[in-house]
C-alpha cells in the first residue's frame, strides 16, 4: 500500500516495515532519475578538468590525474618543450579565456540581458499600472490586445523581425539583440495582475499627498511590486542569457557581438581533438552563473521560472 498521493505528514496507521519498503523504492527511482539528469553536468565538469589523452581514453576518474602534458600549440610557437608542459585543469580554463574572447562574450551577455530587462520594466510597468488602476477610453481594447499578444511566441516571428531589422540595417548590432525583446506582454500581464491586488486607497492616498501619476508609479507602485519584479527579473534573465536562436539569426560573423551561447557554438565549430577540455571549460563558465545563482536563491528562481504558470 504505497502512499503516493497522500501528503507525507498525514499518518494513516500502517505497519512500519511496509512504509519503509515503499519509501526505499521511491528513493531508488528518484536517485536513478537524478543520475541521468546529472550525467551531462558530470561529463561537462569532469572533461573540463582532464587532459586530451584522458578524455580520449576515458581514464582519470572525475578530476583526472592532473599530470602535466605537452601543449602542442605552444610547441608550434617555437618555444622550448620544457616550458610547454601544462596542468590540464589550468590549461583548459586558461585556453577557454585566451583562445576565444570569452570575457567579451560574457560582457555582451551581461549587457544584452541587463538592457533587455531594464527596457522591459520601463515599458511594462507604466502600462500595467494604467491598465490596472486608471480608467480611460480604450482600456479594455488595449488589454484585449495584450491578451492576444500573449499568444505570440517571439521566436516564431523571428523571420519577419529579422527582415525588418535587416531593412533598417540593424543586423549585427546590440540593438538587434535587444529590440525584439523590449516589449514583454507577459510582463505587462503579470504586473497588471499584481497591481490589481494593490488597494486603490494607497494610490488615492498618494494623490492626496500631491504625487503625480509618474511619481506614483516609481515611488509607490514600484516598491510594492518588488517581489513580482524580482521573479520577473529571474524569468527574463534566464531566458535571455540562455537564448541561442535569436542571436544566431541576427549576429553573423562579428565575434565582438557574440553572446555566450554563440561563443560556445563558435568554439565547437573550430574545435579539434585537443580542444575538448577547453570547450567543456567554456561551457562550464557559461552555465555556472545561473546554476550558482539558482543554488543560492532556489525558491526565488523556481518562483520566477514558473511564473508563467500564474496565467
Name which of residues 74 to 133 contact other proteins (CB under 8 A).
Answer: 123-124, 126-127, 129-131
Question: Of these, 112, 121, 177, 287, which contacts other proteins (CB under 8 A)?
Answer: 287
Q: Is residue 7 part of the contact set for other proteins (CB under 8 A)?
A: yes
Name the segment binding other proteins (CB under 8 A); options: 63-71, 75-83, 92-100, 279-287.
279-287
Looking at the Cβ atoms of 27 and 79, the one nearer to other proteins is 27
Please state, as a whole number, how many other Cβ atoms lie within 10 Å of the Cβ of residue 278.
Answer: 25
**3 state SS of 228:** helix
Size of the site for other proteins (CB under 8 A): 104
CB of 149 to other proteins, least distance (A): 5
Q: Are 222 and 125 in contact (CB under 8 A)?
A: yes
Instruction: Pick the binder of other proteins from 53, 211, 249, 297 (CB under 8 A).
Output: 249
Residue 39 interacting with other proteins (CB under 8 A): yes
Among 106, 178, 179, 233, binds other proteins (CB under 8 A): 179
Return the range that interacts with other proteins (CB under 8 A); candidates 71-79, 94-102, 193-201, 292-300. Answer: 292-300
With binding defined as CB under 8 A, does residue 233 bind other proteins? no
Please list every residue from 48 through 77 that binds other proteins, using CB under 8 A: 55-58
CA 149 to chain centre: 23
Name beta bridge partners: 86. 69
Three-state SS at 23: helix
The residue count for the chain: 311
Q: What is the 3-state secondary structure (H, E, C) of 133-170?
A: HCCCCCHHHHHHHHHHHCCCCHHHHHHHHHHHHHHCCC
- Do residues 113 and 241 touch, judged by C-beta distance below 8 A? yes
Per CB under 8 A, the list member of 32, 75, 85, 164 interacting with other proteins is 164
3-state secondary structure (DSSP) of residue 79: coil
Amino acid at each position: 500500500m504505497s502512499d503516493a498521493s497522500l501528503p507525507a505528514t498525514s499518518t494513516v496507521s500502517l505497519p512500519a516495515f511496509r512504509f519503509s519498503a515503499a519509501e526505499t523504492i521511491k528513493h531508488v527511482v528518484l536517485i536513478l532519475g537524478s543520475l541521468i539528469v546529472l550525467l551531462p553536468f558530470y561529463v561537462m565538469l569532469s572533461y573540463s578538468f582532464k587532459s586530451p589523452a584522458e578524455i580520449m581514453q576515458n581514464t582519470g576518474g572525475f578530476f583526472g590525474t592532473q599530470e602535466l602534458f605537452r601543449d602542442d600549440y605552444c610547441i608550434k610557437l617555437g618555444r622550448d618543450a620544457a616550458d610547454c608542459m601544462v596542468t590540464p585543469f589550468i590549461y583548459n580554463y586558461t585556453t577557454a579565456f585566451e583562445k576565444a574572447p570569452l570575457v567579451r562574450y560574457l560582457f555582451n551577455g551581461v549587457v544584452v540581458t541587463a538592457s533587455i530587462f531594464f527596457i522591459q520594466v520601463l515599458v511594462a510597468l507604466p502600462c500595467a499600472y494604467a491598465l490596472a488602476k486608471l480608467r480611460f477610453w480604450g482600456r479594455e481594447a488595449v488589454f484585449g490586445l495584450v491578451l492576444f499578444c500573449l499568444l505570440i511566441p517571439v521566436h516564431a516571428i523571428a523571420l519577419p523581425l529579422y527582415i525588418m531589422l535587416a531593412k533598417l540595417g540593424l543586423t549585427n548590432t546590440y540593438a538587434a539583440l535587444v529590440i525584439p525583446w523590449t516589449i514583454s506582454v507577459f510582463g505587462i500581464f503579470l504586473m497588471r495582475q499584481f497591481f490589481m491586488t494593490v488597494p486603490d486607497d494607497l494610490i488615492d492616498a498618494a494623490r492626496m499627498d500631491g504625487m503625480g501619476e509618474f511619481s506614483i508609479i516609481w515611488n509607490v507602485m514600484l516598491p510594492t511590486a518588488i517581489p513580482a519584479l524580482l521573479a520577473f527579473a529571474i524569468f527574463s534573465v534566464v531566458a535571455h542569457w540562455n537564448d541561442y536562436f535569436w542571436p544566431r539569426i541576427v549576429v553573423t560573423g562579428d565575434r565582438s557581438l557574440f553572446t555566450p551561447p554563440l561563443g560556445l557554438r563558435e568554439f565547437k565549430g573550430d574545435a579539434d581533438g585537443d580542444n575538448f577540455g577547453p570547450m567543456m571549460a567554456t561551457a562550464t563558465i557559461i552555465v555556472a552563473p545561473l546554476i550558482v545563482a539558482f543554488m543560492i536563491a532556489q525558491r526565488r528562481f523556481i518562483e520566477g521560472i514558473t511564473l508563467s504558470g500564474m496565467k
